[in-house]
Amino acid sequence: MKLPLFSLGSMAGTSSGSVYLSHQERRLKQQRLKALEQREHFLAELQRQKAAHLDKVCRLQRELNQRQRQVEQLRQELKEERENGQNKLQAELREAQRKMKAVEERHKEEMERMQKMLQYRLAEQKPMDVGSAIGDASAAASSEEASSPQPEEPRVSSLPCSGQEPDQLCQDGENQGLEQLRSVVSVADPKQKYTGWKFIGSGGFGTVYKAFDAATGQAVAIKKLDLQQQGCEQVKKEILVMREMKNPNIVTYLESYLANEAVWLVLEYMDGGSLAMVILMKTMAVGHIATVCQECLRGLAFLHANNIIHRDIKSGNILLGLDGSVKLADFGSCALLTPEQSKRRSMVGTTCWMAPEVVRRDPYGPKVDIWSLGIVGIEMAKGEAPYIWEISSKATYLISTQGIPHLEELSLHPGLCEFLGCCLQMDVDRRGSAKELLKHPFLKLAKPLFGLF
């Protein structure tokens, strides 16, 4: 049976439309799927970024907490340091006050000792026989220290028997002393010959100036000695010793003047200053310490060979030159030994540098200078002498009973420690002499002092 043509066409059209619709649906469905996939991918990316941001926020929070803890710790440390600093400053202030008090007490004791020595000299002053210069000074020093264990105290029984009053006797003694002093000095005004005076320093020894010879332009050191404090005999002895003892390791004496109730000693000018100033400014190398010890020993060996004890070896009495020279100075406390009196027993010098036998007022000889040089060695190595901050009475007791602290506790160079051990023997017989110590191996470490300034 044949269908109508329009029916077949309608059927063909219907089939083709259905196919078209299904294809479109598939495309739409694929687009939707693709869009869903993109959305899911986008959401996943957002989720990942969110997690990364959260992780970063957590990390920043941890760092912030850590920084806060560090700030709190630093604040606490700063608070503790501030408290500790205040405590340290208070402790340093108390220590400084203690040291100042000790210095004041020591100064007071030294002033009292000087007054007693002046009274003793005035009471003990006797006419001296005119003779050789060094012989006169030796005789004067011998009478000063003859046998008394406490020569600083005046002894009334020692006054010459006379109908004169003691004040008149002292005045006569002073006049005779001045007459004898005029025989070894120039009675003139040094300011007529020397110009450009400049104050350098002062102390128990007197006052020192730098000046220039008007004729030659040479720089000199001029030391002013007050006769009322030191006495004519002591000043004369110092002049005679320095005039006679010429040595490369002893400050050169040039001339002296008597003017305005004072004696003016003209000495060579040491442009490097005192060893004490160097110690104050810097720490010395072992080679420089060896050089200073060697040069001082040479000077002491010369003095001891000539029967002279310096008796006040310390850093302040050791002068340096910019050319590397080292010289002993200040002979105001020296002693002249004689065959009749080869030992002394006066307590003379500066407390912290005194040998135990001097402090105990036992008979002593030249080796007291070796002990003092050993203390200078500790000064150079550690910056100060043992017991320097103790009052004089305590320092005297410690020196007489213990000597010095154990050298092993001072952390010294082994060679220096061994050398100082030879200088600082309590037993005088075991203590080295200047001549013996010049052979000590430590001195081989000596190097020029040019790098010291």
Residue ranges of the binding site: 224
- Orientation angle between helical segments 232-244 and 166-182, nearest 10 degrees: 20
Question: Contact, 315 vs 279, CB < 8 A?
Answer: yes
Q: What is the largest CA-CA distance in the chain?
A: 194
- Report residue 388 as tokens: 């320097």
Beta-bridge partners for 273: 320
Inter-residue contact 398 to 392 (CB < 8 Å): no
How many beta carbons lie within 10 A of that of residue 230, not counting itself? 21
Annotated binding site for ATP: 224
Rg of the chain taking only CA atoms, in angstroms: 46
Q: Are 290 and 250 in contact (CB under 8 A)?
A: no
Whether the Cβ atoms of residue 193 and residue 255 lie closer than 8 Å to each other: no
HSE, side-chain direction, 13 A CA sphere, residue 204:
20
Cα 313 to Cα 116: distance, rounded to the nearest angstrom:
22
Question: Which are the catalytic amino acids?
Answer: 312
> In terms of C-beta density within 10 A (0-12 exposed, 13-18 middle, 19 or more buried), how is residue 149 classed?
exposed
CA dist., res. 267 & res. 270, Å (int): 9
